[in-house]
Amino acid sequence: MRVLLTGATGFIGRAVAHALQGRGHAVVRVQRRPGRAASDVLQGDFAQVPERGWWASRLAGIDAVVNAVGILREQPGQSFRALHADAPSELFHACALAGVSTVVQVSALGADANARSAYHLSKRVADDVLRSLPLRGAVVQPSLVYGPGGTSAGLFNKLALAPLLPFPAAGRMLVQPVHIDDLVAGIVALVEAPPARITTLAFAGPQPIALRDYLQELRGALGEGGRVWMLPLPTFAFRAAATLAAHLPGSMLDLETADMLLAGNATQHNALPQLLGHPPRPPREFVAPAWRESERRSAALALWLPVLRLALALLWLWTAAVSFGLYPVQDSYALLARVGLHGGVATVALYGAAFLDLALGVLTLACPARWRRLVWLAQFALVGGYTVLISFFLPEYWLHPYGPITKNLPILACIGLSWALEPPRRQG
């Protein structure tokens, strides 16, 4: 079969393309940025809502269409209405006009008559359009999808490793996560043997499970012992935190996704077991043994690196505050005198260093990612310089019982680790 696949560069789309090709099907990928010219790649941007006439010639020779376009949060130039509703609707109408008889739409569990979020409502618009057309195929509504490289998988891995999680209702809301391999196997089965008319099918894991129990099973799957401890958090506090998180770059959480999580994500009508001929895999088997340690380390780094970054920022900000006067200024001048700095030079050194510490603290929190490596290098150089100067002029501080200088060694290691884990700037 020749299958046109939209959303081919996304998490689900990539897996579907690989599986279809593994079954011997030819896949035509629709991508916003096609990269190199190829006969199996079609440039098309759902954000621009290609109309049904645009699709007419491009659907020639296509036997089936799989729409896997989806975003969890809106961004500039990418709206729910365009990507989830208008563009897929135009494509589905074009399929009916061009004689493409089979269409599989990847929607979302919850995009039904009870939908409230903009995400689910936009998905439902396209689902309803597809159901109204004389086509074969299905509207697939998956629950939470877990798989290597998935954004939500990364998030839940981090949560599973956290020592303590404040969460509304102590995480008792029901979810029914499904592994990407099972989801894709179900989609491929529908492409190869589509229902005679568009059918809505929920795809989910073997059974509903409380969120806290899901995280506990993930924790075990990652090879981490111990319990996932949940601290009950008032719903209003969780929603307020989600509102703030919406302003953080790369955050999956905003008020709408928070409300979706609070509502749970489970079904009583899971079509996947019958379609696959066996139960979907449970969460305790989500992480392959060969990948367990690398996934655990990735999750641990993703969890603790932001904490480390915040701690280093607070270190610089507090040092600045101390230098500006929390520590007796005359005592600061006395220390500078031992280094050979007096009068106006000492004043410039004291307050210049304080302003530098303040700048480094602010930059650690707010510097654009592409410049962050330079900030870490500046911190490393400054801490290293302070350490050398104090070692030469005030060597007794190496013997101080509170270790004011020896603490610089782990600080330098933390700064070096932060520098090393920043993605390098692209060349050219």
- Identify the pLDDT of residue 39: 65
Distance CA 115, CA 107 (A): 12
- Identify the pLDDT of residue 260: 87
Distant-in-sequence, close-in-space partners of 76: CB < 8 Å, separation ≥ 6: none
Question: Model confidence at 107, in pLDDT bands (50, 70, 90)?
Answer: very high
Residue type at position 217: E
- Identify the pLDDT of residue 33: 78
- Identify the pLDDT of residue 387: 94
* pTM of full prediction above 0.95: no
If you average pLDDT over residues 28-56, what whole number do you get?
85
- Identify the pLDDT of residue 37: 56
Q: Above pLDDT 70, what percent of the chain?
A: 97
Which residue's structure tokens are 């035509």?
28
Residue 138 falls in which region: left (phi positive, over 0), alpha (psi -120 to 50) or beta: beta
> What values do phi and psi take at 417, rounded to 5?
-65, -45
If you average pLDDT over residues 101-117, what whole number do you get?
93
Lowest mean pLDDT, pick from 31-45, 133-147, 200-214, 382-396? 31-45
pLDDT tens digit sequence for 240-273: 988 888 877 667 788 888 888 888 899 999 999 9
> What values do phi and psi take at 138, rounded to 5?
-160, 155
Give CA 240 to chain center in angstroms.
20
3.40.920.10, 3.40.50.720, 3.30.450.30, 3.40.50.10330: which CATH number matches 2-287?
3.40.50.720
pLDDT at 307 exceeding the cut of 90:
yes
Mean pLDDT, the chain, rounded, equals 92
Distance CA 372, CA 365 (A): 10
- Identify the pLDDT of residue 426: 61
Lowest mean pLDDT, pick from 14-18, 149-153, 383-387? 149-153
pLDDT at 32 exceeding the cut of 90:
no
If you average pLDDT over residues 312-317, what whole number do you get?
96
Lowest mean pLDDT, pick from 31-45, 51-65, 363-377, 404-418? 31-45
- Identify the pLDDT of residue 428: 44
CB–CB of 106/142 below 8 Å? yes
pLDDT at 369 exceeding the cut of 90:
no
What residue spans define the domains of the chain? Answer: 2-287, 302-421
pLDDT at 136 exceeding the cut of 50:
yes
Find the angle CA(195)-CA(152)-CA(303) to the nearest 5 degrees: 165
